[in-house]
Structure 1
């Protein structure tokens, strides 16, 4: 793995994944517990300080990582599965099937995503992690489906697909065993982009008070920090940690996305000129001096 972007992205994502998996097991306190020192800055007792009601911010960041990352990954899995089904089926079969799925995709592409998410989230009877993830996925699958449809239209006439069709393979087997592996880089790129969008959407819903505020997440931390006027009172340790976590996860996923693009598309790669050894360079200079006037 030569891409430095993928390496850095993997390190960032591995850190937050380990924090989400093992962090709550190591820090076993209640992130919603109150009663401590209010608005205390970072110290040896509270590494990231406390909130207006004495809640430990480090506990909230660690426990909130599970909710934020869980919503992002679950939304991306659902949206990617829908986009694969719609894009590959429509692109392969064409005709009426493709037209019907294209109309459905265009409708979701035209609809403004954030207002639609806000409206749907407002009518949810339960605003848990799964409900929010399904709502975000329902508005985030169309872009990936459009890209996969375009790729399938160009792949379905290639020789290996024609050979599989001539050999009597069923259409669904051709779609998922012949065409799907070729489009894995595009699917990976779409998945990572959807994870970023889902995490930001969950943070936005929580910040607006439309998610389950009884569950600690990075978005709910920003919501309570804004309600507690953390910026005005100078409690920077209240809103910077969750905001920084969201930014770092987005940066890690973005670097992974760029690295995958460079692997899939050689034109995007940066090729460095090989360095000449010092002795060889000195010999070339001496030869140039002897040949010169």
Structure 2
């Protein structure tokens, strides 16, 4: 049930990001004389201070926010898989080196580090912001995968593959990796949530590319325009709800995968005894 609800939310936003701009066809940066107009038939979600349509910005912003989240999660998950599995399987000096590197990134506060790195970016495009978020968000996933690899590497099927003469990298990526796919999936989904929130935070602070429309940049301009003080709730509430909803959808799918991978987390329904 959790996976169905979460997947439904994610499919809705994915379809909106892919096909929404094609259906609307308007320019999200286009201004008009209808400044600070509430929701109406002409503007379903109202307008900004300069007359930009909020609904158009929400649709176009989904591409940037979700794109940064997915790209960051892919990069961070690849780093986590490489560091966690390789270090956990080989052990020794390799594991010690990777563990020290992982601990350094775990100790460093992620948000201040993201702000510092983003401040030195020569270009603040989608790819640059995604790389910065990924560099600061891979460590906890690597720590979890290392612990799981330490447990799996001594199982019978791994010992059999090692005895048959398979190479270490083949054992890691063809024997151990498939067993850890549920853990990797949950790590990936959690990283997407964190990346979307990090991108929104960077845009809200003005450290991302504000020339592109994202949910975070919408919150930035709403804050600069004092939308809360003037009562323009339609300016900041839609992007905030979109971030909250997509986070909820990803969390529900994540919880559902956890219940499938770990039977102890499943909810047991107790049938009432018939009288």
Q: TM-score range by the shorter chain?
A: over 0.9
CA contact (8 A) 1:36 1:55 kept: no
Is 1:236 the equivalent of 2:233?
yes
State how 1:104-253 maps to structure 2 within 5 Å.
104-253=101-250
**Structure 2 gap segments, 5+ residues each:** none
State how 1:88-99 maps to structure 2 within 5 Å.
88-99=85-96
Q: Deviations over 1:85-138 (max 9, x none)?
A: 000000000000000010000000001100000000000000000000000000
Provide the secondary structure at the position in 1 that maps to 2:99.
helix
Aligned-pair distance for 1:268?
Answer: 0.7
Aligned-pair distance for 1:222?
Answer: 0.1
Give the structure 1 partner of residue 255 of structure 2.
258
Give the structure 1 partner of residue 25 of structure 2.
28
Which residue of 36, 42, 55 maps to 1:58?
A: 55
Distance 1:215 1:88 in 2: 37
Which has the higher mean CA deviation after the structures are superposed, 133-142 or 266-275? Answer: 266-275
Distance 1:79 1:275 in 2: 47
Distance 1:232 1:24 in 2: 31
Distance 2:121 2:32 in 1: 32
Aligned-pair distance for 1:275?
Answer: 5.0
Aligned-pair distance for 1:18?
Answer: 0.3
Distance 1:271 1:105 in 2: 37
**Structure 1 gap segments, 5+ residues each:** 286-293
Which residue of 34, 37, 43 maps to 2:34?
A: 37
Give the structure 2 partner of residue 15 of structure 1.
12
What TM-score comes out, normalization by structure 2 length? Answer: 0.99
What is the aligned-residue RMSD (CA, Å)?
0.7
Aligned-pair distance for 1:209?
Answer: 0.3
What TM-score comes out, normalization by structure 1 length? Answer: 0.93
Aligned residues: 275
